[in-house]
């Protein structure tokens, strides 16, 4: 801090007198206190504005983490036991509907977040955007009877696919699929193999995603199955 002084010469005969006026230290203290007070006010105002901006930025930064996502896991039902259901039609694509959903997912590794819905084997997306969709099916063939062995010997291909449906299309449209041959196991009583699908797809709000397979009897042990979707 610079101290400002005032001075002037008083000329008197036969000599001159130099008079120096020292600053008023009380005035300096008052100016300093006023400046400090204003600085505190300005600092507080800036801090308040800054905090509000940071909170807003934190909220905006959290939006990418709030993307729709869901994962369903296989549900074992008594309806699926047995090698072939009474209504089984060879090579007909049937929807896999044995999934835990809703509150039941709380006791599994599955989840549904940020607007995703489930209905009749389908996951319904709430927002338009690019999604990663995936499905894993653990497949088992029973060979306990000659009829079982004959049926599986004639059915050489297994198709596992994911479909999209919306009201504008009016029908299921295949998005991705996996086709493989039946696997022969050293165990004479059953064959066990699996199929996995994963792909990126552009979806619109309201689109319904489902999993289908050409031989629903292969999903008699769905405990390891999962089916999911998440926005990227």
159-218 residue pLDDT tens: 999 999 998 888 999 999 999 876 665 556 777 888 999 999 999 999 999 999 998 888
In the chain the first and final C-alpha atoms are separated, in Å, by 59
Task: Please state whether beta strands 69-73 and 111-113 pair in parallel, antiparallel, or not at all (unpaired).
Answer: antiparallel
C-alpha to C-alpha distance for 178 and 135, rounded to whole angstroms: 10
Neighbours of 28 (CB within 10 A): 13
Q: Quick one: pLDDT at residue 142?
A: 72
Q: Quick one: pLDDT at residue 34?
A: 81
Q: Quick one: pLDDT at residue 9?
A: 47
Neighbours of 137 (CB within 10 A): 23
- The mean of the pLDDT values for the chain is 77
Q: Quick one: pLDDT at residue 84?
A: 41
* Spans of the chain, pLDDT less than 50: 1-10, 12, 78-86
Q: Quick one: pLDDT at residue 168?
A: 86
Q: Quick one: pLDDT at residue 63?
A: 60
Nearest alpha-carbon partner for 136 in 230, 226, 229: 226
Q: Quick one: pLDDT at residue 85?
A: 43
């Amino acid at each position: 801090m610079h101290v400002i002084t005032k001075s002037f010469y008083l000329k008197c005969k036969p000599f001159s007198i130099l008079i120096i006026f020292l600053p008023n230290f009380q005035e300096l203290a008052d100016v300093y206190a006023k400046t400090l007070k204003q600085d505190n006010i300005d600092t507080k105002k800036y801090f308040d504005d800054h905090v509000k901006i940071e909170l807003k930025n934190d909220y905006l930064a959290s939006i990418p983490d709030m993307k729709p996502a869901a994962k369903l896991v296989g549900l074992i039902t008594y309806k699926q036991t047995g090698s072939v259901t009474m209504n089984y039609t060879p090579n007909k694509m049937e929807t896999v509907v044995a999934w835990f959903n809703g509150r039941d997912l709380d006791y599994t590794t599955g989840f549904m977040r940020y607007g995703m819905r489930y209905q009749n084997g389908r996951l319904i997306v709430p927002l338009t955007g690019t999604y990663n969709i995936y499905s894993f099916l653990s497949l088992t063939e029973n060979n306990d009877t000659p009829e079982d062995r004959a049926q599986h010997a004639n059915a050489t291909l297994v198709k596992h696919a994911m479909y999209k449906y919306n009201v504008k299309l009016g029908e299921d449209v295949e998005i991705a699929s996996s086709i493989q041959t039946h696997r022969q196991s050293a165990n004479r009583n059953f064959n066990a193999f699996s199929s996995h699908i994963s792909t990126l797809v552009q979806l619109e709000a309201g689109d319904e995603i489902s999993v289908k397979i050409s031989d629903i009897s292969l999903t008699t042990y769905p405990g390891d199955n999962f089916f999911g979707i998440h926005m990227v």
